[in-house]
Structures are given as C-alpha cells and as structure tokens.
Chains A and B, each alone.
Chain A
Amino acid sequence: MFISVKNVSKIYKMDRVEIEALKNVSLDIEPGDFICLMGPSGAGKSTLLHVIGCIENPTQGDVIIHGKNVKEMNDGSLSLFRNKHIGFIFQSFNLLPVLTVYENVEYPLMIRGRKVDKEQVLSVIESVGLQDYIKHRPDELSGGQRQRVAVARSIVTEPDIIIADEPTANLDSRTGDLIIDLLLKLNKKSNTAFLFSTHNEAVSKYAKKIIHILDGEFQS
C-alpha cells in the first residue's frame, strides 16, 4: 500500500461554529486502484480529496504517502511532493487561461526548473487526442476538450495517484463518459491509481471500488 489515510478528521471553524467535514475516516489506496468516492454535496468528498492530495492538512489523523507523513513536511517539500506524486483534475478544468494547450500540459514539468522533454509533452497530448489543438487557448476549446487537457496535465508528470474532483460534473453525459473512459484506459496502461469523486450513479459504474460518504463518514 502506498497511500494510507489513518483516522482522519477535519474540522472547519466558521466564526464561532465548528463544522466537522471528515469524521475519523481511514482508507488505503494501492497502485492501480480506481476508486470512486460517492456522496451528495457537502458530504466531505472534496475535503477528503484535498487531504489526500496534500493541499489541506487534517485536523486529526495522518496521511502517509510512500511512508512519509504529510504532516511532517514543510510547504516547499510538500509542493515538490505534490508535483512528483500527485496529479489533479478539477471539476471546472482549472486550466491557465493565458497558456496554450501545450503550455498548460507542460506547466507541471516546467516548474521543476529542468529542461522539459517536448516529446513527452506532445505524446501525452496525443494520448488524450488533442494533437491538433496544441496552440489553442482554453477559451477556444469545448468543455470536453478542456477536461482532456486537464487530464493530460495530470498525467504528464507520471504521478502515483490522480485525484479528480467531480471531473464530469460540468460535462454532458456523453462527454463525461468519454472522460471516464479515458481515465480507465490510462489507469490500465500506467498502473496509476485514480481517486475521483462524483454524485452521479452512472459514472460510478466504471469504478473498481466505490466508497460512499455522508456527513464526513464512510458508509458501509
């Protein structure tokens, strides 16, 4: 096992009110897993993804990735760790609007400060079928194409896990199916683990493992 979430709780403080978004959850993720996190809005899906994605610290509990406890890392090493080991796909694509398709996909490699292998970037873009759009900006692409750019950006660093927060929510069902299909193919090809959230039952049918979450707790 390379990711272990142990007894994680997350409490948000809003003025004088405390909201417990995660309640003592534990989860192990193996290489090649394709896990779907299901639950209604406000169930704690995004919070769990953020905690596993090392962009949010748990209030209690530990997240251990490759034997390293995320809590013990400082911001600099955590940034590097995210860049090397974790890929992100967001519901609203979150592409950098001023960069082209090529530059958006190149970005995670570029920030490593080393010379970027252009062939590697182009081959990833080709793998998501956007080789004819490398010079296009996000606002010149459809929703499905944008999400494919986001997928390419998430896999270009060859991470151990890709975290996708409702990747099909802003897409029509056909395009959503195509994106999930693409993620499945990549999962099979690279042995990268995928953890994605959705509240769409139709999407969850593709998952090898489904975790239901409600009010911050896993449902058996």
Chain B
Amino acid sequence: MFYFKLGLRNIIRNFRKTMLTMATLTIGMAAILLYNGSNAYVFGQFSENLIRSEYGHFQIYKSGYLANVDDHPYDHLIEGYREISGELMKIPGVKFVAPRLSFSGLIASDNTSTTIYGQAGNPRQENKFWHNTISNGSFISSDDPEGILAGKGLVRRLSGELGDTFTIMATMKGKGLNGIDVKLKGVIDLGEADARNKMYGLVNLDRAQHLLGVGQSVDRLLVMLDNTAKMQKVEPEIREICSNNGLEYRRWDELAVVFKGIRDMFKMNEYILCGIIISILTFIIANTMSMNLLERMREIGTIRALGTNRKRVMYIFLAESSLIGLIGSFAGIILGLLLALCINLTGGIYHGPSGYHTFIAPQLQGILIYMLVFILDAAVSALMTARRASRMYIAETLRYI
C-alpha cells in the first residue's frame, strides 16, 4: 500500500510530465471502449435477429441426428416431442418450444418444377420467427392446413401467385415417393443474398409429417427464451433433459457459423487495435519511467542506503507505473462513456444510404478486461527501468547531480 501512496504522490508531483503518458492511455482506452461498444451493439442486434428469426436460443435433436442427417435424415427423429416440450417449458426463462421438421423435395406448379427446402412447424410459433419477413399475403394457420409460405425467389421460379396450388413431392421415411398439395398463402423475402429465398417453403407440421410418413415425429425442437442473457443459466437444465431423453442440443451460436466467423473477424480487429495502442503505450511509459529514474537517482540511492532492498525498489517503480495505467485507463473509461453517451443521444453513427444507425453499447466486462490489460502493460513497460533502478550502485546514485 505504501508503494502505491508513494507512486500516487510522485505522479501528482510530476503531473505535467506524466500527463502526456496518461493522455495517450486515456485516448487509447476511450478508442477501445467505443470500438468494443459499437461491435457489441452491432453483433447484439445481429444475434438477436438470428435467434428470433431463425435459430431460437437452443436447438434440440435426437442423439445422432446431426451426424447422420445427410445420409439418413429420418432415422433420428424425436418421437413424443410434446412430452419433451412440456418438460422444457417448465424451465424458468423458457418462453416457448417450437417443433420443426425439415425436408427436401420437388415442388411443381402447372408449368414448372424446382427443388424445395421445406420446413414444417406450428404456425402460431413459426409466426414469431418469420412475421417480419412477409412481403406479400399472410402467414399460414392451423385452420388452413394446406397453406404454404414460400420464399420470394421460389415463387418467382414457379411463376406463382397468392392462392395458387402447388404439389410437393418428397421421399418418405420408408423409401418411396409421396406428394401433397399446398396453396400459396404468403411470400417471404429473406433478401436476394440469402440462398433460401429461392428454395424455402414453410408448411404446417402435420402436413409435412404426412408427406414424409414419420407419424408424430419432428427432427428438432427450437427453444426460445424470454431473454438471451439467461442462456447460461438455462443451459445446464437443457443439458440434463437432453441426457435423460437420449437427445443432444446446440446453442444458437454454434449453429450460426457465418455469424461466428464475422464476429470473430471483428474481434480480431479489436485485438489488433488494442495491440497497436498497447505497443505505443509500452514505448511511451517505458520512456516516461526511464526519464523518471534519471530525475530520481539520488532518491533511489538514499532509500537503498536506508536499507531498502532491490525488490522493494522495483515495487516503487512498478506501483507508480501501474497507477499511471490505472488512472489513465479509468479516465479513458470516463471519456469513452461520455463520448458514447453523446453519440447515442445524437442518433448514433449514421451509415449512409442504408439508413442503418450504429449505437454504442459499452460492455462492462470487456472494459474491465482492457483496463486490466492496460494496467499490466503499464507495469510491464516499467519493468526494465525498475530492474535498472534496483541494480544501480548506491554510491554512484548518491553522487549523481
């Protein structure tokens, strides 16, 4: 504690000299806070979008389903999914459980046919995933079991219009073809870049179960929570239910591979930025501490003569540089938060014609980790000077003018 007191007083005494170092730290910390906060906002929005439109928070499968889905898609289905859904619904935080059955096959209109990547589910629950993407018509409902919701590209390929009837043909579980008629209820637009736009179709679960001859089975259950922050708390209970029922599960972020790749890339950019700032800081702090040593040669000689051992002399320098790190990075957090507040209050960062605005969502955990990194860097930067100070000849330092 004494060394920190000594360090703090030395910083105050030499405030003008250490101000430049601290200002660099402050600006660096603020820059990282803003970048980290901006990424957190973008990926927070992105991830919520993916969870609520596609993946749910967790997906549950029969054990072995994921390993065999390409060769034997119907050999590992969940039977009696209603009981398992009931068990899952008892977990606090689970909002709803959506059963799904995927299939692929041919879809044909009067004029043409094309491939379809189909999904089947409970319309009331699926509506919560897809309602934002409907560009034309309405959502399918349980009252109209023949309804299909199709991707805009698929509808274009079939030259279809709302109310048209199509035929879907698919291979049944017991080998053999089966077909059902579906009526176009609505069109969803997932964007031209999304390959699913040209192939996707959503039908009622019981229609798909009939088409595939799988009885009451489904291939997955999507578990949606009322809050993404509860994932960690809920996961152990989901794991237990899965292990008791011969099931396996995946978190949404394990399934969203592209998202993960982009997020990792941005994280890497953040580390590179942090690395550059830290490299600059290392040189500046090392230089400041080195200058400090020259000005305090006699002081070092005196405390050594009074009986301070080498280790304690090192502590004095390390404590002082750590304090520079602490004060500078803390000031950086304040500056960063103020800038974030200003940006958020003035409508965020505008991204041109897309009309998209980025806000800053400062992340406490991330900030504290970076703060710790800055403090450690400050201490490490002073290590050589501290070592030099501790190993100087006492008599020489006392003679130093």
Residues of A within 8 A of B (CB): 46-47, 50, 53, 55-56, 75-76, 79-84, 88, 90, 92, 94, 96-99, 107-108, 110-112, 153
Contact A56 B9 (CB under 8 A): no
Contact A56 B395 (CB under 8 A): yes
Contact B304 A94 (CB under 8 A): no
A35 vs chain B, min Cβ distance (A): 19
Instruction: With A55-B395, A79-B309, A97-B299 given, name 11 new contacts (CB 8 A).
Output: A55-B394, A56-B394, A56-B395, A75-B310, A76-B310, A81-B307, A84-B307, A88-B306, A92-B298, A107-B303, A111-B308
A146 vs chain B, min Cβ distance (A): 13
Chain B 273-307 residues near chain A, CB threshold 8 A:
298-299, 301-307
- Using known A-B contacts A55-B394, A96-B299, A99-B9, determine if residue A108 contacts B306 with beta carbons closer than 8 Å: yes
Contact B6 A111 (CB under 8 A): no
Q: Bits for B201-245, please: 1 = Cβ < 8 Å to A, else 0.
A: 000000000000000000000000000000000000000000000
- Using known A-B contacts A55-B398, A84-B307, A111-B307, determine if residue A90 contacts B302 with beta carbons closer than 8 Å: yes
B contact face: mostly helix, strand, loop, or mixed: helix
Q: Check: B46 CB closer than 8 A to any chain A CB.
A: no
A55 / chain B contacts, CB cutoff of 8 Å: 301, 304-305, 394-395, 398
Contact A90 B398 (CB under 8 A): yes
- Our pick among B2, B12, B308, B395 for the contact of A79 (Cβ within 8 Å) is B308
- Using known A-B contacts A98-B9, A98-B13, determine if residue A153 contacts B394 with beta carbons closer than 8 Å: no
A112 / chain B contacts, CB cutoff of 8 Å: 307
Complex: how many Å from CA A111 to CA B312?
Answer: 8
Complex: how many Å from CA A98 to CA B9?
Answer: 6
A182 vs chain B, min Cβ distance (A): 19
B14 vs chain A, min Cβ distance (A): 10
Q: Bits for B370-401, please: 1 = Cβ < 8 Å to A, else 0.
A: 00000000000000000000000111001100
Contact B305 A111 (CB under 8 A): no
Complex: how many Å from CA A90 to CA B397?
Answer: 13
B301 / chain A contacts, CB cutoff of 8 Å: 55, 94
B87 vs chain A, min Cβ distance (A): 60
B308 / chain A contacts, CB cutoff of 8 Å: 79, 111
B399 / chain A contacts, CB cutoff of 8 Å: 46
Contact B6 A99 (CB under 8 A): yes
- Using known A-B contacts A50-B395, A56-B395, determine if residue A82 contacts B298 with beta carbons closer than 8 Å: no
Contact A96 B305 (CB under 8 A): no
Complex: how many Å from CA A186 to CA B308?
Answer: 25
B6 / chain A contacts, CB cutoff of 8 Å: 96, 98-99
